[in-house]
């Protein structure tokens, strides 16, 4: 459950950088997503036509504060998003490092505290740090969105052990991998670890065929989810025969 909404698809898709509005629309439909993210900076650059397109798609819109580097900037952007899209949802990004686009943990928690107190339903973009996660939940967030790798890098899950630890520690909190996923196999890996969803943009938008790539991600994400739900076998140090010795013919 993502606040008051239970999506059927664990795939959340961004809307930036597509070759054309038509390809964006086709990719969104091919992905099967019910939730699309949009940056207020993107909205401001393209005007009402882009907002009209998103509205016509009949998807849940998750505005984000992409590009914000301070608490004030992020909070102001969130207020604008609430007015523009008539939603309490906000994907909160407060960037602290210019090269990696890693979130500023102190500013992120401060901004989340302010926005949650004002009635926003905050989707915080964070790292796999357990302490930051605890602080965000204490601030009022009901889910966490840890990165897999830096935004747009396509590196996949750079710290799988840290993410597994986060999944185990916050076992009853929705966790969505946000950023760094570059291939369907990487998305499947995250879902096989028990994460509740994947949010990505660049891997689809910049593909040679964004529509086909969106469909590929949908298949991979669902496959990973089903594998987790079915129960993956445990890894073993030694081989274990699948056929028992008992009952085999004996040759003298």
> Which residues does the annotation place in the binding site?
152, 179-180, 201-202
Give the span between the Cα atoms of 36 and 74, in whole angstroms.
19
Which of 59, 72, 91, 206 is flagged as catalytic?
91
Mention every residue, 6+ apart, whose C-beta is less than 8 A from residue 183: 154, 156, 203
> Which residues does the annotation place in the binding site for 1-deoxy-D-xylulose 5-phosphate?
152, 179-180, 201-202
Active-site residue flag, 91? yes
Give the span between the Cα atoms of 163 and 9, in whole angstroms.
21
Cα 135 to Cα 111, 114, 141, 142: the distances in Å are: 12, 13, 9, 11
Mention every residue, 6+ apart, whose C-beta is less than 8 A from residue 145: 91, 123, 124, 125, 126, 175, 176, 177, 178, 199
Q: What positions carry a catalytic annotation?
A: 91
């Amino acid at each position: 459950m993502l606040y008051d909404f239970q999506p059927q698809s664990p795939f959340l898709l961004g809307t930036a950088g597509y070759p054309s509005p038509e390809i964006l629309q086709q990719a969104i439909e091919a992905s099967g997503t019910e939730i699309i993210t949009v940056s207020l900076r993107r909205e401001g650059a393209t005007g009402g036509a882009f907002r009209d397109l998103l509205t016509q798609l009949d998807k849940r819109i998750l505005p984000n504060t992409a590009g914000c580097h301070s608490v004030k900037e992020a909070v102001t952007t969130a207020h604008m998003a609430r007015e523009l899209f008539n939603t309490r949802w906000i994907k909160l990004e407060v960037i602290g490092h210019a090269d990696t686009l890693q979130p500023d943990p102190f500013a992120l928690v401060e901004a989340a505290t302010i926005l949650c107190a004002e009635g926003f339903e905050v989707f915080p973009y964070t790292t796999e740090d357990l302490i930051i996660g605890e602080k965000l939940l204490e601030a009022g967030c009901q889910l966490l969105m840890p990165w897999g790798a830096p935004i747009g890098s396509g590196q996949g899950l750079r710290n799988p052990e840290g993410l597994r630890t986060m999944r185990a520690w916050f076992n009853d909190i929705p966790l969505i991998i946000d950023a760094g996923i570059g291939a369907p196999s990487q998305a499947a890996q995250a879902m096989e670890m028990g994460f509740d969803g994947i949010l990505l943009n660049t891997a689809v938008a910049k593909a040679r065929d964004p529509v086909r790539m969106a469909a590929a991600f949908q298949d991979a994400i669902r496959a990973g989810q089903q594998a987790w739900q079915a129960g993956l076998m445990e890894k073993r140090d030694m081989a274990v025969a699948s056929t028992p010795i008992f009952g085999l013919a004996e040759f003298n």
